[in-house]
Structures are given as C-alpha cells and as structure tokens.
Amino acid sequence: MSDDDARDAHLLETGRIDRLLATYELVILARCIKGTKGPHDGQDVAQDVMFRLFREFEAGKRYEGIPYRVVVHQVTKWTLADFHAGRRTDVPLPDELDLAAEDVGDGVVSALWLRELLTQLPERERATCELVYVEGLSPEQAARRLGTTRNNVDQRLFHARKRLRELMDDDG
Amino acid sequence: MADVDRLFDELAAAYVRGERPDLPAYLARAGDEADELARLVDAFLRVVPPPEPSEDDVAVMRARLEGEPGLLALRTLRGRKVDEVVDELAVRLEVDDRPRLKRYYQRLEGGVLDPHPVDERVWDALRDVFATSVRNLIRPLVTRRGGSAMAYYRSGPPDGAGAQLRARMTPREPALVGDADRPPPERDALDRLFLGDA
C-alpha cells in the first residue's frame, strides 16, 4: 500500500469523509466530464458520485483491502453507467467489490503512479516533467531552473504527454 | 505547441501546487479540443497522487455534506459580507444595476439558481473575488434530511426545482424562495449573465 493509500485508509477509519471527498473532487469531476462528454452533465454526475460515496461510507460500508482511490474510480464508473442507461444514480452501492469480475483495474489498479511513469523517460525529460507535473513550476520556470530554453522544455513535456496518451489508449 | 497542450500544462501545474483549477473553464478555453483536454486531464489525475486539500476546501465540503450551499459556506469562512462581494462583482462585471446583481448573486449563492447557464465571465469574476474556483461549490451535496440534493434538483417543477430544494433545506431565508428560477419576460445583459441566452 502506498503512502497515499495509507493516508486515505486512515482518513476513512477516522471518519474524515469530508477530507477524502475534498481530496478526490477534481479527480471525480474530470472522470465524469470525460465520461459524459460535457461539463454540465459531468458536474451533475460528479455530485451523484460524491453523494454515493458519502452516504455509503458514512453508513459504514467498507471494501476491505481495496484502496480508496480504486473505490472512487469504481463508484464513478458505476454511476456513469447508470447515467448512460437512464437509471437512478443515487441508489445504494453493491456490498462487494469483486476486483476480477468488475475489471476494477480500468487503468487504475495497474496504472503506474506518475513518478514511476516518468522513470521510463530519459533523464532530461524526466527531470523536466518532475518540475512541471510534480512540483508545479511553469514551463518558463522549469527552463530557468534547468538552464535551458523554453523550447527544449516544451519538447520534453511533449514526450510525457505522449506517454499519458498511450496510457489513455491502453485504457480505452 | 498546440493550445490543448499549453492548457494541460497550466492546469496540471496548478493542480500539483494544490490549487483548485477550474476544469470547465479550461475546457471552454480549449474549444473544439475540449474532449482531448478532458481525456488528457483524466489520465493525468489517475497517475498523480492528489494533493492535500486546503482547510477551506475541507470546511466547504463539510458544509455541503450538511446541506449548505458551498459558496455560502466559503463566503462565511472568508468573513466576507454579501454587499462586499456584490460591490466587487459589480466592478468586475461592469454592472450598474447593483440591487438586481445582488439578487442574482444571492440566488446563486443560495443554490437556487441553475449554475449551468451562468456566463463564464461570472465564474471568472467570482474566482477573482474568492481567489479560488467556486463553480463546483454552488450546490450542496446532501439535503438536511440526508437525501441526494441532486435528486431534488432533477425532480422539481421546471420553474422551481431550486426553490423546492431551498424551501426544504433552508426555510430561514424565505425571501429567496418564490421567484427563484422564474425567467424574466425579456432578458437584458445582466439577465443573460446569470440565466444565459435561451
């Protein structure tokens, strides 16, 4: 279990669902917007996902041994499926989460965290991407830090995005 | 560099710095490439450990889980008066009719105005006023009775879904209930900012 997964598990056990939902709000929103092909429906479905997560975990439901981030993605997936099928999106969740049957992976369980993903890149590209995508520097700031040009930084970032796109393709 | 790449880099960097990037605003800026940006952002957020939310973010989420509209909770947290916010909005949106602007703002803050038709300029102005994106905070997540707030929005009558929710949840502000979501006969520039063109 990663440090982030351990943090989530601790928050869940101590009843800090508000903090967990605040942590994952944008993750849920992005997935719902992508899944509905529109920001309006995406925002509405994201509300449903967060309501479901809150209600179920507040009531004590747990999926033992499964990282919270995986549960978030799976509940989002279920809710999007309900939305597309025209079903209610606020009904109770299943009691069990069968990793194999549900294909919970969906690019999540097996997905590499970004730092691991970046290790697949050459050293200069990895260092550049860490500054922008891990530390949050702008490309201009990254160029200054590395003593290179903005153009070089753009080129190196291009390769990281290409890897992300490959991940998307793998995921369907 | 393609526009979508530039927007992605900007959003990704803001996210890992712990900011709350306004994803729908970025998608609007991406235009025809919005779907591509949405796919890229979704993939990125799946491989980046989410940063710790701010204490304000957590407090606003807690309020929304208790049936309170998030923008109201945020303004209260920041210690801002409605009139102060409206004054700033009037300047940023170049609106002269302050009383009507205040009424629209209160309806938006109270969760009784459908946020979807609200113009991007309003979200931009609110983001400047509160120094964070408020677009996704408008509605509570849960009613005070513990049900889904979205279910109330969906099941109410066309001209009063928000008002119905408001009446059930926060009857302490009856002045806001009644004319909520009722469209004016003809829309001027201010109406269109909050209600859209339709």
Rounded-to-integer distance, Cα A133 and Cα A137, Å: 8
Give residue B60's pLDDT.
93
Question: Which of chain B's residues have a Cβ under 8 Å away from the Cβ of A47?
Answer: 139, 141, 149-150
- Within B66-132, residue ranges assigned H as helices are 70-78, 82-93, 98-109, 120-130
| Nearest CA distance, B122 vs chain A (angstrom) | 16
Decide if pLDDT at A111 tops 50.
no
Rounded-to-integer distance, Cα A111 and Cα A90, Å: 28
Window from A97-106, B41-50, B140-149 with minimum mean pLDDT: A97-106
- A127-152 mean pLDDT: 89
Query: With pLDDT > 90 as the criterion, what percentage of chain B qualifies?
Result: 53
Give residue B171's pLDDT.
38
Question: Which of chain B's residues have a Cβ under 8 Å away from the Cβ of A132?
Answer: 9, 12-13
Q: What are the structural domains of chain A?
A: 3-102 (no CATH), 114-171 (1.10.10.10)
Using alpha carbons, list the distances in angstroms from residue A161 to A84, A124, A158: 29, 15, 5
Give residue B82's pLDDT.
97
Q: DSSP of chain A, one letter per residue?
A: --HHHHHHHHHHHTT-HHHHHHHHHHHHHHHHHHHHTSHHHHHHHHHHHHHHHHHHHHTT---TTS-HHHHHHHHHHHHHHHHHHT--SSSPPPS---HHHHTTTTTTSSPPPHHHHHTTS-HHHHHHHIIIIIS---HHHHHHHHTS-HHHHHHHHHHHHHHHHHHHHHH-
Give the residue on A whose Cα is nearest the Cα of B23.
A30
Decide if pLDDT at B128 tops 90.
yes
The model's confidence at residue B168, banded by pLDDT at 50, 70 and 90, is very low
For residue B13, give the H/E element and its range: helix B3-16
| Nearest CA distance, A134 vs chain B (angstrom) | 6
In a mutational test of the A interface, the residue from B10, B47, B120 whose CB has the highest number of chain A CBs within 10 Å is B47
| Nearest CA distance, B76 vs chain A (angstrom) | 18
Please state the pTM of the whole predicted model: 0.81
3-state secondary structure of B74: helix
Bridge partners for B148 per DSSP: B142
Give residue B88's pLDDT.
97
Question: Which of chain B's residues have a Cβ under 8 Å away from the Cβ of A154?
Answer: 1, 5
Question: Which of chain B's residues have a Cβ under 8 Å away from the Cβ of A26?
Answer: 15, 20-21, 23, 45, 50
- CB contact burial B79-114 (16+ within 10 A = b; e otherwise): eeeeeebbebbbeebebeeeeebbbbbbbbbbbbbb
Give residue B107's pLDDT.
94
